[in-house]
Structure 1
C-alpha cells in the first residue's frame, strides 16, 4: 500500500500547538547521500512531549488496511490528520529549511511543508508493513518530494546511565521497537533507524522512494509527526 500524503479523515478539533524555537547549527546525518538522512534535535524534549500531549487530547482514530492479500501493505496504527498551514510553516522555519538550500530536484527547490500534518501512534503490537510513499500534487506547480517524520519519543538523547531511580523510571517508560527500516531493490537493508526523541527523518518519495516499514512496537507507544517537503 502506498502512503498518500493527504489521505485519511481529518480532525476538526481546534488545538493550541506548542511553541517551537528556531534551531541553529543543526546537522545532517546522511544514511544514503541526500536520499535518506536524519536531523537530530529538530524538536526539543519539551516540544516533543508537548506535541504528544496535544495529540492525545485531540483523540486518535485507528488506521488499518485490507492487507497484502488485497494488494495493500499491512497497516495497524492510530492516526490524527489536520490541515494547518501555520503549523507547517512554523515547523519548516524551525531549522528544516536550512537543510534544503542546496537540494534541487529536476530544477525544483524546496519551498515548505505540506500543510497536511499527521500524527501517528503505534501501541504495543502495532506496525506498518513494507510500503512506499507517493508524491502529492498540491497545485500551482507544487509537488511533494520528501517524506518528513519527526519522532516525538524514543531513545533518550543522553546515553549516560546510572542507578538512580529517575534513570530506572525513564528506562521503564522508554520505547522498544518501532524502527523504520529501508530496503534496496534486492530486499537488502539500506538503513535501520531507531526512533530518537526530537529527531527528524527525511527520505525521497514518489518514483525515488525506497521500500520501507515501521517495525512492531514491543514496549510502550511510539509517536510520530508526519508531513512532506514541497518543491516547486
Structure 2
C-alpha cells in the first residue's frame, strides 16, 4: 500500500494481508441487485489491449454514485472486518460511494491488471477493493439449466505464479489490497452463463 503497510490486529488475515472471503449477501439479496442492475442497463467496457499498454478487458459495466447504499453495505458487516486495520495511521471509514456492477457473459474476461487507489480528497484514500459476487455457486441456473462456469478471480505473485484462485460463489465478499501493494490479478473467462459482481473500495481517512 502506498505510504505503508496494513497493520492487522485480531482480524484473521489471509496471505499477503488480505482478509479472507466472507459470505455476505443472501441469495435473495444478490438476485435483487442483479435485477436492479439489469433494469438500469449495462454498457460494454473494453480496452486497447496489451499491445497498447492496457490490460485486456471485455465486460459490461454500470457505475452509480449512491452514498446511502455504500453506507448500508459498509454497516452491514464490512466495517467489522476492518476494526483493527490501519494504513499509515489512517483507519477505514466507509466505502467509496461510486458503486459499480460488472457483468461477464460467455467468452468475456478481464486480463491481468492492478487496481489503482482513488484519492477522494480531504485526506481520504482507498486502499482495498471490495468485490461481492452476485452469481456463482449457490445461485439459480439460467433458463437452459446451466450454472456459472469459469470467471474465477486469480492472484499472481511477482514471478507470475498463482497465489490464490477464488471461484465465484453467490453472496461471497472478496477484499484485496490495491494501489501500490496491489497484486496482479485477473478475472478468468466465463465459459457458461453470466457472472455478476458488485464492486466498491474501502476508504481510509
Preserved CA contact (<8 Å) 2:132 2:172: yes
Match of 1:37 among 7, 11, 20: 20
Regions of 4+ moved over 4 Å: 167-171
Preserved CA contact (<8 Å) 2:151 2:168: yes
Normalised by the size of structure 1, how large is the TM-score?
0.80
CA distance in structure 1 between the partners assigned to 2:19 and 2:160 by the alignment: 17
CA distance in structure 2 between the partners assigned to 1:197 and 1:211 by the alignment: 23
Q: Give RMSD over aligned pairs.
A: 1.9
Alignment of 1:77-116 (within 5 A): 77-116=59-98
Say yes or no: does 1:182 pair with 2:182: no
- C-alpha offsets along residues 75-134 of structure 1, whole Å, 9 cap, x if unaligned? 000000001100100010111100100011111100000000000000000000000000
Preserved CA contact (<8 Å) 1:36 1:204: no
Match of 1:147 among 120, 123, 129: 129
Listed as ranges, the gaps of 5+ residues in structure 2 are 1-10
Normalised by the size of structure 2, how large is the TM-score?
0.90
- C-alpha offsets along residues 158-208 of structure 1, whole Å, 9 cap, x if unaligned? xxxxxxxxx998993311000000000010000000000000000000000
> What's the CA shift for 1:156?
1.3
Q: Which residue of 1 aligns with 2:50?
A: 68
Preserved CA contact (<8 Å) 1:133 1:206: yes
CA distance in structure 2 between the partners assigned to 1:230 and 1:124 by the alignment: 33
CA distance in structure 2 between the partners assigned to 1:81 and 1:74 by the alignment: 20
CA distance in structure 1 between the partners assigned to 2:156 and 2:19 by the alignment: 12
Match of 2:172 among 175, 199, 210: 199
Preserved CA contact (<8 Å) 1:77 1:122: yes
Listed as ranges, the gaps of 5+ residues in structure 1 are 1-27, 158-166
